[in-house]
Structure 1
Amino acid sequence: MAETGGDFLMMHHGDIVDILYKLATSAGATIDYHTEVTSIQQGSDEIPNPSVTLANGDVLTADMLVGADGYQSIVREVVLEDEDMVKPGGLTLYTGVVDAEEMLKDPELRPYALSDEWAIWMGSHRSLCGHPVRAKKEYFFHVYSWFNKDGQDQEGEESWEDLIPTEKLNIEGHGPQVQRLIKLSPNVIRTRFMTRPGGIDDWVDATGRIVLLGDAAHPSFPGGSHPAAMAIEDAVVLGSLFSHLRTLDQIGSFTSAYQELRQRRCELVKLADIANAQMVAMPDGPQADARDEDMRRRKDEWDEGTLKAQFEEIAEIFLYDAGDAAEEWWVNWGRFSEVAREQPHNIVNFSNFATVTISED
Structure 2
Amino acid sequence: MTLHVGICGAGIGGVLAAIAIARAGAQVTVLEAAAELGEIGAGIQMTPNAARLLKKYGVDKAIGENLVSFEELNMRRKDGTPVGYTPISRVENALGQPWWLVHRHHLHTGLVDVARASGCTILTASRVTSLDYQSSHDGKVTVSTEAGAQHTFDLLVGADGVNSVVRKAIFPSIAPAPPTGNCAYRAIVPYAEIRKHAELRPLVEKLTMEVWMGHDAYIISYPISAGKDFNMVLSHHRDPPVHQVQEIDMQELRDEYKDFDPRIKKIVDMIPSAQRWPLLYVGPLESWCSPKKNVVLIGVSPACILFSHILKTFSLTMPTQDAAHAMTNHMAQGAATSMEDGAFLATCLKHHIQSPTSLPLADALSVYEQGRMPKAALKQQVSFMNGAIWHLPDGPAQQARDRAMSPELKNEPLLRSPNLYGDPRTVLEVYGYDAEAHAEEEVAAFLKKPGMMDRKTGVEKVQADKVMNWFLDDEQKFRPKL
Provide the TM-score with structure 2 as the length reference: 0.62
Q: Quote the offset at 1:262 in angstroms.
A: 0.9
Matches within 5 A, 1:331-342: 331-334=444-447
Q: Deviation of residue 271 (structure 1)?
A: 1.6
Partner residue in 2 for 1:216: 323
How far apart, CA to CA, are the structure 2 residues paired with 1:141 and 1:272?
21
Q: Structure 1: which amino acid aligns with 2:297?
A: L
- 1:42, distance to aligned residue in structure 2 (A): 1.2
1:154 deviation in Å?
5.0
Aligned match of 2:347: 240
Q: How many Å apart are 1:213 and its aligned residue? A: 0.6
Q: 2:360 aligns with which of 232, 243, 250?
A: 250
Counterpart code for 1:210: V
Please give the per-residue CA displacement for 1:99-150, whole angstroms capped at 9, x wherever unaligned.
2211111234334344332100111211000100011111111111024xxx
How many Å separate the matches in 1 of 2:170 and 2:145? 19
Q: Aligned partners of 1:168 and 1:252: how far apart in 2?
A: 54
The whole-number CA distance in structure 2 between the counterparts of 1:302 and 1:296 is: 9
Aligned residues: 326
Determine if contact 1:114/1:132 at 8 Å carries over to the other structure. no
CA distance in 2, matches of 1:303, 1:140: 28
Cα RMSD, aligned residues only: 2.5
1:43-68 residue CA offsets vs partner (Å, 9 max, x unmatched):
43514111221111111111111111
- Identity across the alignment (%): 24
**Greater alpha carbon shift after TM alignment, 254-263 vs 264-273:** 264-273
In structure 2, give the amino acid aligned to 1:282. L
> Who is 2:384 aligned against?
274
How far apart, in 1, do the equivalents of 2:202 and 2:221 lie? 12
Q: What does residue 131 of structure 1 align with?
A: 222
Distance 1:106 1:153 in 2: 38
**Counterpart mapping for 1:1-361 below 5 A:** 1=91, 2-44=93-135, 46-84=137-175, 86-147=177-238, 152-157=239-244, 162=245, 164=247, 167=250, 169-174=252-257, 175=260, 176-196=262-282, 199-214=284-299, 215-244=322-351, 245=353, 246-247=355-356, 250-300=360-410, 302=412, 305=415, 310-334=423-447
1:301-350 per-residue CA deviation (whole Å, 9 max, x = no partner) reads 8377559x9322321112221111111222332486xxxxxxxxxxxxxx
The alignment partner of 2:122 has SS state of coil
- Whether the 8 Å contact between 2:178 and 2:242 is mirrored in structure 1 is no
8 Å CA contact 1:6–1:318 kept in 2: the answer is no
| Residue identity matched to 2:142 | S
Aligned residue for 2:394, secondary structure, equals: coil
Q: Is the 8 A contact 1:97 1:140 kept in 2?
A: yes
CA contact (8 A) 2:159 2:298 kept: yes
Following the alignment from structure 2 to structure 1, what is the Cα–Cα distance between the partners of residues 416 and 126?
Answer: 52
For residues 432 and 130 of structure 2, the distance between their equivalents in structure 1, rounded to whole angstroms, comes to 40
- SS of the aligned residue for 1:216 comes to coil
Taking the aligned partners of 1:267 and 1:305, their CA distance within structure 2 comes to: 24
Aligned partner letter, 1:302? E
Q: Following TM superposition, where does structure 1 have runs of at least 4 consecutive aligned residues deviating by more than 6 angstroms?
A: none
Work out the CA distance in 2 between the residues paired with 1:101 and 1:330.
51
Q: Could you tell me the TM-score, scaled by structure 1's length?
A: 0.82
1:314 maps to a residue whose letter is V
Give how far 1:25 is off. 0.7
Q: Name the aligned partner's letter for residue 378 of structure 2.
A: L
Moved more, 30-39 or 254-263: 30-39
Secondary structure of the 2:203 match is helix
CA drift at 1:182: 2.4
| SS state at 1:52 partner | strand
The amino acid of 1:236's aligned partner reads A
- Do 1:80 and 1:202's aligned partners in 2 also have CA atoms closer than 8 Å? no
Whole-angstrom CA distance in 2 between matches of 1:189 and 1:335:
52
- 1:227 maps to a residue whose letter is G
SS of equivalent to 1:11: strand
- Amino acid corresponding to residue 170 of structure 1 in structure 2: L
Would the alpha carbon gap of residues 199 and 331 (structure 1) be closer, same or farther in structure 2, given more than 3 Å must change? closer
* Equivalent AA in structure 2 for residue 250 of structure 1: P
CA contact (8 A) 2:414 2:424 kept: no
Q: CA deviation at 1:16?
A: 1.9
CA distance change for structure 1 residues 335 and 25 in 2, over 3 Å: closer, same or farther? farther
